[in-house]
Amino acid sequence: MTATTTAPLAAAPPRTLKRPPARLRAWATRAPLLPALVFMIVVTQLPFVATLVISFFDWNALYPKARRFTGFDNYRQVLSDTDLRHSVWTTVLLTVAVVLASLVLGLLLALLLDRRFRGRGVVRTLLIAPFLVVPVAAALLWKHVLYNPEYGLLNGLLHYVGGPQPDWISRTPLLAVEASLVWQWTPFMMLILLAGLQSRDQQQIEAARVDGASDWQIFRHLTLPHLRRYLELGALLGSIYIVQNFDAVFTITSGGLGTANLPYTVYQSFYQAHENGLASAAGVLVVIGSIVIATFALRVVSSLFREEVGRS
């Protein structure tokens, strides 16, 4: 459809065919929706309510008899525990660093790919590939094959230029995790931004060029404002996925060396320490953090969505 090439964002509006007034008809319209809706509420909302309830109990799974209501004690403990506070900070650091770095790299790559050159399709495929490696496999690849201080590829390449032979993971553990995530997430940002670039108004750009605008001026005053919302979308979706990251932290450092983020800490506090109450409180905190991000994310998606509905 031509509409999709000129208006690339979100769905076109649904069209009303015929809306009979009868109540039965209204339920017949709703019926196809209900299985999915009920399923989602049962599987995703109920467990969260349970987490909320458990977070108010002092409950160690190894001592089930000692379970008792403690009000906000778990939250107090989570917020005053230095390890947990540190994991909050680690989560923020990890998310911000990975999102920003992959967004900047993704923008550069998208700009490079937006122009015609020989083998563009091949380069695009090469660039997408890192995103299509199973996350655990990617983390193993970085941990053993690239970072290994004795025979990893990084030190192997440094060897050729007579460089140092650092032990990457123990010297810069968080950076090591971040680098592997940036490698995986840059393609994601690139794809979103490339879609943004290709939805620019070409006539407007031609007109600006005819009027003597330089490449930089066109980028600064036409492309960047147009890309703003795609950048926001990339940043927000990236944040939502990376705040929840477990695979890379679990695989590369096993949460050691100060790289434990909140998801890893929640996992550890109930899977290894069996502290159900504490784990739930930490989980609720992750959710509160996500809700803050998600509120912005929903606003961006919804404005893209409305613009699209309004346009067609």
CB of 221 to another protein, least distance (A): 19
Site for another protein in 86-115 (CB under 8 A): 108-109, 112-113, 115
Cα separation, 226 vs 229, whole angstroms? 7
Helix locations, 148-212, DSSP H: 153-160, 168-171, 173-198, 202-210
| CA dist., res. 100 & res. 106, Å (int) | 10
- Cβ atoms of residues 208 and 217 within 8 Å: yes
Q: How far apart are CA 220 and CA 304, in angstroms?
A: 21
Stretch that binds another protein, among 77-85, 94-102, 155-163, 167-175 (CB under 8 A): 155-163
Residues in 163-202 that interact with another protein by CB under 8 A: 183, 186-188, 191-192, 194-196
- Give whole-number Cα distances, 278 to 59, 89, 90, 288, in Å: 8, 18, 18, 15
Of the residues 100, 157, 207, 224, which one makes contact with another protein according to CB under 8 A: 157
- Looking up tokens 């990376």 gives 242
Q: Any contact of residue 136 with another protein (CB under 8 A)?
A: yes
Does residue 127 bind another protein (CB under 8 A)? yes
Instruction: Show the site string, 30-49: x = touches another protein by CB under 8 A, - = not.
Output: xxxx-xxx-xx--xxxxxx-
CB 10 within 8 A of CB 308: yes
Q: How far apart are CA 302 and CA 29, in angstroms?
A: 24
Site string for another protein, 196-225 (x = CB under 8 A): x------------------x----------
Q: Which of residues 47-66 bind another protein (CB under 8 A)?
A: 47-48, 50-51, 54
Q: Which of 56, 75, 168, 250 binds another protein (CB under 8 A)?
A: 250
**Range 276-305, binding another protein (CB under 8 A):** 276, 279-280, 283-284, 286-287, 290-291, 293-294, 297-298, 301-302, 304-305
- Spatial distance between the Cα atoms of 90 and 51, rounded to a whole number of angstroms: 23
Q: Which is nearer to another protein, 259 or 276 (CB)?
A: 276
